[in-house]
Amino acid sequence: MKIFDHLFPPKHLGLRPYRAPSPVGFWRIAGALVLVALCGGIYWWQLLAQQRNQLAFAENQAHLRTVQMSTTMASHVGTLVAGLEYLARSLAMNREAEPDHYFPVAVRTALATFPNGSLRHICVANASGQVVFSSLDQDPKTQDAPISIADREHFQGHAERTQPALSISRPSLGRLSGKWSVQFSYPVMRGGQFDGVVVLSVAPEYLSGHFSDVSTSGNDVTLLVRDDGAYLARSDRQEEVLSLSVPPDIEFLRHPDRMQGEFQAKSPIDGVERLYAWQRLREYPLVVSVGLDHDKALATTKSSIAQSRLWNAAGTLLAVLAALWIALLFMHQRRIQARLEQHQQRYQLALEGGNLGTWEWTTNTDHLHVDERWHTLMGSSPSDGPPSLDSLRARAHPQDWPAWKAALDAHVRGDSDVFEAESRISHPDGTWRWIHVRGRIIERAPADQPQQISGTCTDVTQRYAAEAAREELQLRLSKLVQQVPGTVFQYRLKPDGSSHFPYSSSGILGIYGLSPEEAAMDAAHVFARMHPEDRDRVKGSIGDSARTLTTWHAEWRQIRQDGEARWLEGSGNPQREADGSTLWHGYIHDVTEQHAATQALRRSEERLRLTVAAVQDGLWEWDTTSHRVTPDARCHEMLGYHGQPSPLSFCAWRRLVHPDDRGTLLAVLQQQIALYQPFNQEVRLRTADGQWRWVEIRGQATPSPAGTVSLVIGTQTDISQRRADTLLHHAVLDNAAAALLVTSADNTIELGNRRAEEFFSVDGLPLKGRSMRMICREDAAFSDFCQSVEEVRRTGTVHVEHQLPTTSKGLRWFSIRGTLLDPEQPAGNLIWTLVDTTERREGVEALSTARTHLLEIIRHFPAGVLVQDSEGAPVVVNQALCDLFEVPLRAADVMGYSRAELAMLVPPEARSVLPPDSPLHDDAVASTHEVALGDGRTVQIQFIPILTPHGDQLGRLWLAKDVTERRRHEQTLERLASTDTLTGLANRRAFMERLEPECARQASGGPGGMVLMLDLDHFKRVNDTWGHATGDVVLVHLARMLKGNLLRSHDLAGRLGGEEFAVLLPGTTAQEATAIGERLRHALEQSRIHAGDGTILQVTMSIGAAPLHADAHATLAQADAALYEAKNTGRNKVVLVQPAEAAPEKTP
């Protein structure tokens, strides 16, 4: 068998070094694939951005439609409620004037005027709440039991209110009608005193019937609710909500100060998610809300986007697959050419580098063909003859051979793809070595033909030894932790403030009353049971330790479940984790008795201070004859005991020694005392509170006159701090982020921390005693290291960067810094600090790539972009900016222009907002400007400061885009929102927006003004006689008069609702306002209105005039009062409010 010699000849046979194929072809393929991926990524980025914009635009349009619908419906509902208020107020006035004659006629007229069923009934209650009139057939006066509404909300509100006003109740079942209705009530006043109420019972169906024009689709809905959230009407499922209220967290209930708004929510009534817009009526405690089905509003857009993504994904996939197929074909051809040349050397190097022996066995023979490394690993010699299965079985461990032979036979039978086994093999020196053998059939022959098996073997004894040592160490640590009083713990504090114990020993049950599993879930129970006076202090110490990464130590009181307070002491060392959490390793124990002893010790400390200040060591003596050990007060104090010390028996003193130290100490005492030589030993002694303290015991045996040892005298020194410092030193080294090495003059590693072992220890064992060849494996790397050693010894320091192989991460870049351990000894040991800088290098490369991508995105950004550096100089200008301002240059040609040069290229209107040609200072405030260009376009220019996380400026970013169409759209919406759709005059909202600042200006000492309130006389007769269409013609005719030349240019006319109009006359006296009102009244009286089909109408109007007050609503109230005076005194006249009439107070 010479298969391995044929396939893998040794180096001395003239093996040529392997020449890697040229990377040019590979990089061409990679470049082409990267280009394809980049193009695809840019295309998909633009596609997804466009689709997101499309979806956002559709949702914005749905929001806008909802707002417009809610505004229109609020205006419509306001007009409807105003009509009901006018009816209720008119009936109340009729009730006051002629309760028995004209009032019933007015009620019948009102019922006939409104649609059938819209008014359930009209009733009147007296001052005590008893119903004295009802429009239903039964007469309340003839009822056996009088009907009372004194307990109703709307009646009680009027009885308590001093000023008459309309009241709107929750829906209720009428006591007369027996049907659901909404009560619109108005008080009846006699002589200024409350004398009852007029109640209009309005059917909810009448209110919701006006919503049909808005809620046309299946899941759209319109709501009318009171300010307290009670439903009054709903376009859908009205019967289910009449006794309900909207959820208390809805926006207009949480913000009663807002007049309008919008939100998105799922309805608790039908479970449909909608886009809602709501409008609060200014004059009435009502809210109108319109909701559009969210899914239906966006369904068309989402369907279009999904179909577009599907087709684009299919096209992209086909392009990527085609590119990959071409690349694979090209790479496969090159790989075949390189594989034959590479294959021979690769396996030879693998065998040598892995210290693998090779073997071959033909199943019809007993002999094995092996190489020299086989003999070395098996402890045999080529002179012993060719090895056989019988000789191998004789040297294999009896417990291992059956499994080894069974695995080999199974592979021969074809039951396994690979033969693999591990066994102990005896060496001539009597030791057992673990050998790992692996092989497989080279080419399987028919069942009756012999099989040829080839394989390798390697020595894995060190791995087994390391695993056994690790298991033994873990077992010892587990047993040791269980014996320690208190609990050993790991405590993790997360960035969000939550915490838990990832690990805790079983003693935590006695400390906190929690099992280790419960503590691992959450540590909140620990702090909840902590004494209130100690909780903030302990939390603060934990926070300080986490912030500074210093050792945590604290004492506090913990309240047990039985109410007992126990003193606990804890300490731990923190370390920062990758996710920002802080992890402590530490120990907590019960120090209640120690705390009490400490308090007593403090009281006697002052008396003992002068005595013990000069003596740091304790004295002791051991009488070997009586077996008594007598410590002094200092020894007693060192172990935490108080009071005068008393002699101990040697057995009792021996029990104070830690079990792990007891045997060594007794052996040293026995040996040194027998030789009459001094001795010293470091041991742990048990303290009064059951803890262990490190002390150093030194002593000397004193011979007796008879020549025997009778007395041993010595000292005892507390070395706890020194031991703690040593442990801390090792902890610092082991927890350092960098690998630390100390090397000797012959480049042997004297010390390596845990990080260095993780990086470079192939077998996981300590690096001490090994050559630096283990880290610098290549000859060139080791030569560079030797040069660095010479540089350190010559100059005292060196700093280089090299790639080094690691055990788990392959080749990594390291920043290596070497210094002399002792500057006074240049030929002494050296200390090396190795910091992994691979991620930093990769980050620098990624940053360069990201900058290239960012510049490409800016060049293709759909808006104009200008970027300045910290000195104000332009860094990036894209072509979109040049096109937007019609700059006759390419973007690349603009780079380097100063502000003055750049200003000459843009339109004059944009120059005032261009960035200054000066270094940046403190103008780190974002701003947005809109510039109207001379060609009619509107350009929005946005300034964004570029800041560091600390607030320092890196530059400025200027974005410019054409917003002409958006501004036109917004202006159209503003005009529609402020205009009455029928007459083209300002609607109530727009009129109030103009009236309120005029009133405020008058209140602050500005020029006065007047308000005219106009109402058509007998307008209801027009609607009843000729229909509502003719009534609309009359309203439009009056609006044209108001928009004509009868008013001044700065006057404002508006329609407040129904046939009520108002005119604002700024800077006008009462006399001038009366003259203007007369001019309007006369013009309408003399006009002829053509209503179609030959009908010509003449109408008149009544006008009330009032001066401006600080309160706009009070001003309208006074004008309304003057209007009603004109109505009640004959109509077709102008009445000026009398100065003696006080404006009604506005109640909140």
Q: Which residues are catalytic?
A: 1059
Length of the chain: 1148
Q: What are phi and psi of 1046, to 5 degrees?
A: -80, -15
Q: What are phi and psi of 125, to 5 degrees?
A: -115, 145
- CA 234 – CA 221 distance, rounded (Å): 7
- CA 104 – CA 98 distance, rounded (Å): 9
Q: What are phi and psi of 1064, to 5 degrees?
A: -95, 125
Q: Can you give 364-385 as a three-state secondary structure string?
A: CCCEEEECHHHHHHHCCCHHHC
Q: What are phi and psi of 420, to 5 degrees?
A: -150, 130
Yes or no: say if 617 and 634 are a contact pair by the CB < 8 Å rule: yes
- CA 1074 – CA 1134 distance, rounded (Å): 7
> Tell me, what amino acid is at 155?
F
Yes or no: say if 1007 and 1066 are a contact pair by the CB < 8 Å rule: yes
- CA 1090 – CA 814 distance, rounded (Å): 97
- CA 482 – CA 1075 distance, rounded (Å): 104
- CA 843 – CA 840 distance, rounded (Å): 5
Q: What are phi and psi of 132, to 5 degrees?
A: -110, -10
Crossing angle of helices 294-353 and 24-97, rounded to 10°: 160
Structure tokens at 522: 């959450």
Residues 6+ apart with CB under 8 A from 1019: 1031, 1034, 1058, 1059, 1099
Three-state secondary-structure class, residue 883: helix
DSSP bridge partners of 588: 487, 570
DSSP bridge partners of 295: none
- CA 939 – CA 942 distance, rounded (Å): 10
Closest by CA position to 66, among listed 852, 779, 973: 973
- CA 126 – CA 146 distance, rounded (Å): 12
Yes or no: say if 834 and 815 are a contact pair by the CB < 8 Å rule: yes
Q: What is the 3-state composition of the chain as percent helix, strand, coil, each rounded to the nearest 5?
A: 45, 25, 30
Helices and strands (H, E) in the chain, number of each type: 33, 44
Yes or no: say if 727 and 587 are a contact pair by the CB < 8 Å rule: no
- CA 1004 – CA 995 distance, rounded (Å): 14
- CA 1079 – CA 1087 distance, rounded (Å): 12
Q: What are phi and psi of 1104, to 5 degrees?
A: -115, 135
Residues 6+ apart with CB under 8 A from 978: 986, 987, 989, 990, 993
Q: Which long-range contacts (CB under 8 A, 24 or more apart) does 603-609 make?
A: 604/642, 608/633, 608/637
CA contacts within 13 A on the Cβ side of 652? 10
**Strand segments (E) across 254-342:** 260-266, 273-280, 286-293
Q: Can you give 909-959 as a three-state secondary structure string?
A: HHHHHCCCCCCCCCCCCCEEEEEECCCCCEEEEEEEEEECCCCCEEEEEEE
Yes or no: say if 1068 and 1009 are a contact pair by the CB < 8 Å rule: yes
Three-state secondary-structure class, residue 1117: helix
Structure tokens at 18: 């392997």
